[in-house]
Amino acid sequence: DAGITQSPRHKVTETGTPVTLRCHQTENHRYMYWYRQDPGHGLRLIHYSYGVKDTDKGEVSDGYSVSRSKTEDFLLTLESATSSQTSVYFCAISGVDRENTEAFFGQGTRLTVV
């Protein structure tokens, strides 16, 4: 199994509070991704990183920011959590960002915003 750890695994937070989710990898992969999963939508890309301090927006980036200060860590921050951000969040990694390369996923973080 790819070495990807997400923390926390579960979190309940209040509307308006900041929240940070952490993704840690031991594979030394260059590319890291944050997705959210909602019923009927599959997975949707929030942000991704192609190297230390190199990040870019995905399909649903509004309300989220990311940081990558080390190869192994990719942080996702919800600046001010809203109920619409209640979701399951997945981190993924990939050695190369090519059309023929699979991504490996962490176990997910279930976030509930009340």
Partner 1 sequence: AQKITQTQPGMFVQEKEAVTLDCTYDTSDQSYGLFWYKQPSSGEMIFLIYQGSYDEQNATEGRYSLNFQKARKSANLVISASQLGDSAMYFCAMRERSNYQLIWGAGTKLIIKP
- Chain residues binding partner 1 by CB under 8 A are 33, 40-45, 48, 58-59, 88, 90, 92, 97-108, 110
The distance between the two most distant Cα atoms of the chain, rounded to a whole number of Å, is: 40
CB of 54 to partner 1, least distance (A): 14
Nearer to partner 1, 50 or 63 (CB): 50
Report the candidate in 2, 102, 97, 88 with the shortest Cα–Cα distance to residue 49: 97
Q: How many CB atoms lie within 10 A of CB 14?
A: 9
Separation between Cα atoms, residue 53 and residue 75, nearest integer Å: 11
CB of 112 to partner 1, least distance (A): 14
Nearer to partner 1, 10 or 17 (CB): 10
CB of 8 to partner 1, least distance (A): 14
Nearer to partner 1, 45 or 75 (CB): 45
CB of 24 to partner 1, least distance (A): 16
Report the candidate in 95, 83, 90, 107 with the shortest Cα–Cα distance to residue 13: 83
Nearer to partner 1, 85 or 109 (CB): 109
Report the candidate in 92, 101, 94 with the shortest Cα–Cα distance to residue 30: 94
